A and B are shown apart, each in its own frame.
Chain A
Amino acid sequence: MNDWLVVVVIGLGTYAMRLSFIGLLGTRPMPIWAQRPLRFVAPAVLAALVVPAVTLSDGAMDVTPLGNPRFLAAVAAALVAWRLKNVAGVIVVGMGLLWALQALG
């Protein structure tokens, strides 16, 4: 399937989910069994995106500071995210540390 078609299908599916209760199902409340899993979508999905991206280097796990500087940079960025709650700060610290470690390596 071509990439454009993939994007269109995702767009239609996303719109359908946004529209679901507002447009079609009226005011019927969402059943609890459906609400529970949705609460964990954000932490599970985001961690599944982040962990492999910062612990793998050329397809193999490597968390040494010079072998894979992305891991240490990500740990520092996570601390910034926790203490400061500021997206721009997380990016500045993470990218800055990555560049510093790459310059050393």
Chain B
Amino acid sequence: MTTLNPPARPSAPSSRAVRPARPAPRRVRHSPLGRGLNLGVCAVAGLYTLLPLVWLLFAITKTLPDLYGSNGFAPSGFHLWANLRDLFAQDGGVYPRWLLNSVLYAGAGAGLGTLASVMAGYTFAKYRFPGREKLYGLVVAGVLVPGTALAVPLYLLFSGVHLTNTVWSVLIPVAANPFGVYLARVYAAGSIPDELLEAARVDGAGELRTFFTVGLRLMGPGALTIFLMQFVSIWNNFFLPLVMLTDSRLFTTSLGLFTWNSSTSQNPDYLRMVVVGSAVSVVPLLILFLTLQRWWRRGLAEGGLR
């Protein structure tokens, strides 16, 4: 395989003979072929990633007939503002309500879930107690259970206590985040020195107070990462709201768009609404992602390494 990359080889013997005192810079001269191949693969991947999004960008500016009649990757008139106005007015202005619901489910669910996960992760990392690893094993097992496999049993459970079709039937299940506990344990073990906790204890702070004043503060960045990951996963959840909710005023954007999409045979204009509504529903997450990019990378680093 090394023969595929010949230019790096000839330089090796000489550099071994005269060993540099400091490590040479990582920049290595590469063949134009290698560079071209590399750029080519990256360009193809980039194009593939952008293709559907570009189509969507053109589509949201079109009228319904042009959605079918014009080239999908070229503009055809500019009706974005009219489309947005129609979207927000459709079915008595239910779309902004769906957006707000999504923000509520994702924001409150991730907020509640992250605090619970950080408290549990901190406890697993910083205290010894009987049965700790057994309990922790149970949490990790929770990571492996597929979420949608529990949706139907969850529906049956909630309907047993007459709580289906309520905010709680979505909010409470999505707040439970075992993967967050796993991450929080890793963060707590890595970012909170035991000496600091001991100092707080010597100063007479109780254990709970120590957590809120010392532990939580030091785990802040990790907690933000857990919050963001959970926010996205709740925002993306479709199966649970579909199973639980029947009142359209409680719908998430995804569920609402799904019902519109299922009604295009009765009213073809719903297609235009679904297209524009899809684009609008992506915007809040994109803003969140672009403004907080480095926290994502951090989360990925911690989650992937251990």
Q: Do A and B bind each other?
A: no
Binding site for A on B (CB under 8 A): none
Binding site for B on A (CB under 8 A): none
